[in-house]
Structure formats: C-alpha cells, structure tokens
Chains A and B, each alone.
Chain A
Amino acid sequence: MCEKKVEELTYVQLSTSINPSFWNKFTEIKLEVDKLGEIEHHIWGYYNVIPQKHGINLLEVDSTSFNEKFNGQNMYIPFHGKLINKNTIEQFKESNKTDLINDEGKSLMEKIKNELVLQDPSVLNNFFILSFADLKKYHYYYWFAFPVPRGLVVTKVASNLITETFSENEIQILCSQFKELDNNLRSYFLVERIENGCKLHTLQNKIKNVTLQNKNQFYFTFCNIANTNIAVGSQLKNYITMILYYCPFLQGQIANFIAFTLSRRDDFSVTCDKSIIYELKLPSQEDYTWVGWEKNERDRMGPRLANMKNTLDPYMLAENSVDLNLKLMKWRVLPNINLEKIKETKCLLLGSGTLGCSVARTLLAWGVRTITFVDNSTVSFSNPVRQSLFTYLDSVQMKPKALAAAENLKMIFPGVKSQGVQLSIPMPGHTVGESLLEQTKENVAKLRELIDEHDIVFLLMDSRESRWLPTLLANYSHKITINAALGFDTYLVMRHGLRDAGDARSDPVNHREGFKCINGTELGCYFCNDVTAPGNSMKDRTLDQQCTVTRPGVSQIAGALAVELAISILQHKDGAKAPAFYKSPQITSIQDADSENECLLGIIPHSIRGFLSSFEHILPATEKYKHCIACSDMVLKEYSENGMDFLLKVFNSSKYLEDVTQLTEIFNDIDLEDVLEFSDEDFQ
C-alpha cells in the first residue's frame, strides 16, 4: 500500500482508564500526607504496547503511579504525569485551563532544551490530571490533559508498510533490539539504515549525528499508541517539536518516520511487521501554545466524575455484602423469595434482654433494616454473657438497655436504622396512683404510636402481664405479632391470630382427615392459649415464671425461631392470615397436611413449643378463645369504646378483665387456675 497523495496526518488521543487502586492511594495520600496542602504529585501512566483482543488500549493509572520509579512490566511504556488536585470544587472549576496546559507545555519545552529528553525520551509522553476529590462522598472529579503544541502541521507525503522497505530479517532484528531497550527508551528512538541491514539507536547516542545530508538513512521512530495503523498518537507532535529543536535544518524538509506498531502473529509471538513508514514534511519551528484536554464521556470538553462510593466506601461495602449474601440465597435456593419485603419490614422489639438481642441479630442477618428496641431497665453485670448485644462496659456505665442495644447494633452493621426507646409498659393489676397517671397515659400513647409505626411486634419481655397491653394494641392495629416466652428448659414461640380488618370471616380452609386446620384470623393469642393449653402433658407451669433461670441456649433458640416464624409469615401469600394446622396423634408429619398452604420456606405453624430436656418440638395450633382477656371481641370493643378509661381500670385491677370477658360467669365450668395466676404475687 503506497500512497503518494499529500495529506495531513490523522491523530488520535489516548483513552484513559483509572484503576480503582489509584483512587484508593490518592485518597490515602490526600488524607495522610497532603492534608490541606495543594501538592502536585508526579504520577506514572502505563501504556501497553501489545494490542489487546478488541483493539482497546488504554493509558492506565493505578496505585503504583505514585511510586518514585517506573516499575511497569515489559509490555508497558511510561507516561510522565502530574496530579494537580484542588481543595474545593470552586478552585477546580475556576482554575484557568489554558494557563495550566500552557505551563505544562512550557515545562516540556524546558526538558527538551536541557537535554533531559535525550536521557529519557519518555518525557515526551506527558499528561496531567486536574482533580477535586469530595472524600466524604467518594466522588472524584477529574480531567486528563495530554499537552501537545497547537497548530503544528505535519504533511504526510507518503506512507507504506515497513515490509516494503525492510526485509523480514531486518524487521525481526529491529523487534528484538526494541525488546532489549529499557521501558523509558522505547517510546522514541532512531533506526538507521546501514550497509547490510539496519540498526537501532537511542536518541541520546545518535540524534546529534543526523544532518541534512544523511537524513535519509535515518528513521525517526516512535511507538505508535494509536490502536489503528491509519492514525498516529498525538504525542508525535511533541516528538517533532523535539526533532526540530535538535535538527533545526529539517524545517520544511521531508524526513522518514516509523510508526512502530507491535502485534502478535498467529503463534502469539510479537512482531513489528505492521509498522508504517511515513515520509513527513516538517513545519518550521515556532513558539507554540498548547492544547490537549481530554473529552469526557459525553464527547464534550469537560471533566469526568468517578463515583467510587460503591467501590471504596466501607459503609457501602458492608451494605452491599450483606445484601449479596441474601441474594445468593435467592439465586441459588429460593428464586421467588421476596427479599425487598423483608428489608422494608419494620420490627418493634418489646424487651431488649436475651430474647430481644437474639431476635435483633437474626433480623439483621435476614436483611431487616429497621429495628426498634423498647425496654425500661439498664444493662446489669450479669447481662452481657447472655445478651448478645451488650458488653461489660455497658454494664459499668449502666446504660439503658434499649439504647445500648440500638447503638451496638449499629456498630455491628451501620446500615441498620435502629433506635432505642426507654419505656415502661403499663400492666394489669399494677395500680396507677395519682403521681403516675400522666406518665402512664404517655407510655400507653407512646406504645400505641410505636406499634402503629411498625409492621411486626415482637413480644420478648420477661413477665407475662407486660404482654397484655401490647397484645391488645397490636391486635387492635392489625399488626403481625410474634410472641416468645421462656421457661427453664422450655420455650414457646407463637404468632397471634390476625384479626380481619373488615370483620369478614375467611373462607374455611380444606383440611385432610386427621388434621385440624385453623384460619390465621381465628388463631389464638398468648393469653387464649394459656387458657386452652394444648394437650401437652408436661408440667403446665407458666413459662415466664422462672424467667431468668433458663438454660442459656433457650433464648438463642427461641429468638431465632421467632424471627424465622416472622420471615415465613412475610413470605406467605396470606401473611399472618395463613392457616395453621395441627395433627392428630396417629399421623406423623405435619408437612403432609399443610403442603398446599405452606410458603416457599415451608409451613407456618401457629406455635412452636420446645423442650430441651428431650430436645423436642411440638407445633400446636389453637383457636381464639372467645373469652380471652387480651384478644376477644369483648375486650376490643371495650378498648375501642372507652380507650384509656378502660385501660386504667384494668391496670388498677385485673379482676375487671374477668368481668368484661364474662370469665367470672363461666368460671365454674373450666379449671381456670392459669388465668387466676394473672396477678402480681405469682411473679414476685
């Protein structure tokens, strides 16, 4: 391919790529070394001279760009750069771009004139980055520039493939001589045509020997950084500027150039036989101004913005990793699981002790982001070993449990929105005197507000009577309610029935022979169940009674089960209205009965009773008790009609509840020993 047509050369500018490690190192230097100083840093750029698969070759900067010495591998040529960082976005915007690039150009001219360029020709490969780093947001504004003289016009007289001028053998010699050069000498050198072949010279050794008479035996060679062999890299203009300084007699003359281009043969070996020889007519030497700012991704003259928040901000790394762990579950095991729903669910934890801590941690692991703790006590010395959110120091400082739990949860995962509310929950039979009246009313109002703001209410207190008010309020507000209570080596985890909003009865659920099925709307609450305790022959003592004397594993197990039950409810199409089954004794597996109604995680029992002495679970389901002291229609009606007055009557005497629910009347029919325990003395 031999062109004799006279035309201008086509120049291309380098594309740039920033290794994430560059921003990392830059941030470190800015924060730890430069601080408020606006210090310019020399930086190395790396250009790979071996063409890549898809013809994409980039100038790269990375963390090693800040090193004193260039330590690129053998396929890199160095670019000399400078990082000019501004402290404010205003300074970044207002800095004079023309002056900046002219200053860099002048500094390059200095390096040409003081012969530095001969020792290290790679200084002709120059660039700088103007930047501003918003380190709080991990936003980096940056603008690359590759200064070249403006208006330097070179005319292409002829061009042809190197193979037309040099023999295959000569080309091979050139290629191996090139590989022997130091990285910084590879960008620009001389090739001399000698009697029996050709010879490669460094500029330092030979450029001063070029004369007008012998110029035709020399080829000014440059490593072409254009990814195509019909164009040349814009740095050629710097090379020509240098040539004209050392060989001023070439002004207006035609000189030989080689655009040295490496490529791979089919056998992967490296060759330079795609190089192009140009005959170029050089212009006269002038004082140039300098241009070369890089266009941004919108093809405009303007800076780019690297948003490195997801890559560098440890907060985001934690956030994304937590989510990813759950997504792996979705991708691998449960493609239909609705993780967003879990993430958005707001959980209210009433009680911040062993159960509260265990529930919070398991919720966190499931990706729940909003967790509110309620408790009225402070961290005691015995707490930290059992209650996984507290430390010894919290007990020394007597921190309120709810607040300490919320704070410590954030230390575990800063992405959680956790808050602690110090609050005493009013209880039936705890007489409210005049002095406590206002406080009690406030507490009720606060509790009601909290319940309304959340989606799931967890009852995790250590006393039975403190569960009564939240059971009533959560039921009244149609909230999913999960209850967990502990005995010494037993535990109960259950969901409360979810009252139908429109009082409409749900359709009866079909159930198979041998199983009983109860609609989610008809399931009992904690208080119903104590009355109509399931057919468990074990000692029927109230679980709370020995609240603090428990096998330590019990709270971890029950807390985890409470969360897993809640998550299963969230994944069921009917939520807490999902029916529950319980089996008659002759049938072995409850899964058989409930397969039609299970969610993607499995069945949703009404309650789980566990016995550590035998390491067993049973899954009883019980209906609402129509005389229940907490969830019956009678109680709800009283509350909805008389509100605070009703509550105060209950607080002053739990006997009042028995009247309301007509329990007194039917007292003789059932053995209601458990209900009668509903008074203070039993808990002391």
Chain B
Amino acid sequence: MDASFKLEDFCASIENIVAISNSLMDGWTLHKKEGVENGKYITKKYSTSLTTSDANDIVVTFEYHIAYHLSYGVPVLCFRVWKQDGSLLSIEEYWALNENLKGSSMYDTLTQLDHPVLCQPFLTLHPCRTQEIIQPFLQHSKNPVISWLSVVGPFVDLTLPDQYLKLC
C-alpha cells in the first residue's frame, strides 16, 4: 500500500528547509496562518529579467509558496510573478515567457488555483500528479519535500542548490 505524506511530515520538511536556508542566506521564510489546520507554508522570492515576445526585457520578481493541500494530501508549489510596479503577470503572460513549459502538456501542468492557505489565485503546478512523484521519496528521503521540489521546481525556474539535496 502506498504510504501517505502526513501534514506533520510536511511541517517537519519545510521547517528543515528554512533551517538550511537560514544557514545559506537563501531566503526561505516560514509563515503560519493562525486557526488554519494546514496554516504553515514557506515562501521565497527572487528577481530576474525575462525577455518578452516583442524582445523587451522586463524585470520580474517570483514569489514561490510551498503549502500543504489537505484534500490531495501532498505539498503544493504555487507562485506569483510581478513586474516592478507590482502588477501581477497573468497565467497567459507567464506562459508566453516560460520556455520550460512550451510543451504540449503545459496546460495540464501549470494552472491557476487558489492557494491552499491564503485562498487567493496563484499560478500552481497542479497537485493531481504530485502523489505519484513524491511516492518513491516517502520511504527513502529524509525530506520528501526537497526531493519532490528538485524534480518539479526547474519547470518554473526554481532550482535548489545541492546543499538541500544532501540532506535527503
């Protein structure tokens, strides 16, 4: 029988990520929304320059969130991208800019869903296949969230340095 990834395991994993991040000055931050069962989630920002279809460079900031989805019982990677003036990129604008997703499956992979804790629309890697991806890590990885992120993160420009992976 497949093992399940419990909320406690998730919390331990993300707290571990934040501890590593603090030692590396890598920027993962722990948040907690009071009164919500799955209220703990972590975020990280980074800024970069992207080239639009009309060859302009725009500076954007990504903010990644990793939260726990109660009904799927898996971690969710979602994020928002904004321009320097604070306006968010729509899912279509982001698609147009993201080379990694220019495959046929991009509409299945990345979608807009409500953040599991904040209940606001975020660009989200759909959690329906996460169970499948994370399953093999549940027994052997000390931190299944890191293992899972190392697989799916690169699709949306999120890469984890080796320091995290060493702990899996």
Neighbouring A residues of B48 by C-beta, 8 Å: 52-54, 56
Q: How large is the interface on B (under 10, 10 to 19, 20 to 34, 35 or more residues)?
A: 20 to 34
Give the one of B22, B61, B92 with max A CB within 10 A.
B61
Beyond A52-B48, A74-B25, whether A268 also contacts B163 by CB under 8 A is yes
**Cα–Cα distance between A269 and B26 once the two chains are bound (Å):** 10
Beyond A53-B48, A58-B61, A332-B108, whether A18 also contacts B86 by CB under 8 A is yes
Interface presence of B136 (CB below 8 A) = no
Do the beta carbons of A310 and B88 come within 8 Å of each other? yes
In the complex, which of the residues B24, B26, B85, B111 contacts A305, with contact meaning CB atoms closer than 8 Å? Answer: B85
In the complex, which of the residues B25, B87, B111, B161 contacts A306, with contact meaning CB atoms closer than 8 Å? Answer: B87
User: Using an 8 Å CB-CB cutoff, how does the interface string of A306-325 with B read, 1 for contact, 0 for none?
Assistant: 11101100000100110010
Do the beta carbons of B24 and A324 come within 8 Å of each other? no
Q: Which of A319-342 contact B (CB under 8 A)?
A: 320-321, 324, 327-328, 331-332
Do the beta carbons of B59 and A310 come within 8 Å of each other? no
Neighbouring A residues of B24 by C-beta, 8 Å: 268-270
Interface presence of B121 (CB below 8 A) = yes
Do the beta carbons of A20 and B111 come within 8 Å of each other? no
**Cα–Cα distance between A268 and B163 once the two chains are bound (Å):** 8
In the complex, which of the residues A19, A56, A179, A320 contacts B86, with contact meaning CB atoms closer than 8 Å? Answer: A19
Chain A interface residue count, CB cutoff 8 Å, equals: 42
In the complex, which of the residues A15, A321, A328, A331 contacts B121, with contact meaning CB atoms closer than 8 Å? Answer: A321
Do the beta carbons of B111 and A328 come within 8 Å of each other? yes
**Cα–Cα distance between A58 and B121 once the two chains are bound (Å):** 25
Interface presence of A22 (CB below 8 A) = yes
CB distance from B8 to the nearest CB of A (A): 25
Do the beta carbons of A306 and B121 come within 8 Å of each other? no
Interface presence of B7 (CB below 8 A) = no
Q: Which of A602-629 contact B (CB under 8 A)?
A: none
CB distance from B29 to the nearest CB of A (A): 6
Neighbouring A residues of B121 by C-beta, 8 Å: 317, 321
Neighbouring A residues of B91 by C-beta, 8 Å: 324
Do the beta carbons of B108 and A310 come within 8 Å of each other? no
Interface presence of A304 (CB below 8 A) = yes
Neighbouring A residues of B84 by C-beta, 8 Å: 15-18, 58, 297
Do the beta carbons of A48 and B27 come within 8 Å of each other? yes
User: Using an 8 Å CB-CB cutoff, how does the interface string of B42-83 with A read, 1 for contact, 0 for none?
Assistant: 000111110000000001010100000000000000001010
Beyond A75-B27, A268-B24, A268-B162, whether A17 also contacts B87 by CB under 8 A is no
A-B contact count (CB 8 A): 96
Do the beta carbons of B86 and A73 come within 8 Å of each other? no
User: Using an 8 Å CB-CB cutoff, how does the interface string of A69-83 with B read, 1 for contact, 0 for none?
Assistant: 000011100000000
Neighbouring B residues of A53 by C-beta, 8 Å: 46, 48
In the complex, which of the residues B61, B90, B107 contacts A19, with contact meaning CB atoms closer than 8 Å? Answer: B61
Do the beta carbons of B86 and A270 come within 8 Å of each other? no
Do the beta carbons of A52 and B47 come within 8 Å of each other? yes
**Cα–Cα distance between A639 and B121 once the two chains are bound (Å):** 54
Interface presence of A23 (CB below 8 A) = yes
Interface presence of A57 (CB below 8 A) = yes
Interface presence of B112 (CB below 8 A) = yes
CB nearest to A61 among chain B residues = B86
Neighbouring A residues of B111 by C-beta, 8 Å: 328
Interface presence of A634 (CB below 8 A) = no
Interface presence of A60 (CB below 8 A) = yes
Do the beta carbons of B82 and A50 come within 8 Å of each other? no
Neighbouring B residues of A23 by C-beta, 8 Å: 86
Q: Which of A10-45 contact B (CB under 8 A)?
A: 15-20, 22-23
Do the beta carbons of A328 and B87 come within 8 Å of each other? no
Complex A-B, nearest 5 residue pairs according to Cβ-Cβ distance, in ascending order = A306-B85, A18-B86, A331-B107, A75-B25, A268-B161
Interface of A with B (CB < 8 Å)?
Answer: 15-20, 22-23, 48, 50, 52-54, 56-58, 60, 73-75, 140, 179, 267-270, 297, 304-308, 310-311, 317, 320-321, 324, 327-328, 331-332
25 pairs, CB–CB < 8 Å, chain A vs chain B: A17-B86, A18-B82, A18-B84, A19-B82, A20-B82, A20-B86, A23-B86, A52-B47, A52-B48, A56-B47, A73-B25, A75-B25, A75-B26, A140-B85, A267-B163, A270-B25, A307-B85, A307-B87, A310-B88, A310-B90, A311-B82, A311-B86, A321-B121, A328-B107, A332-B108
For the A-B complex with A310-B87, A317-B121 known, give 6 more contacts whose Cβ atoms are closer than 8 Å. Answer: A19-B63, A50-B27, A75-B26, A75-B27, A268-B163, A307-B85
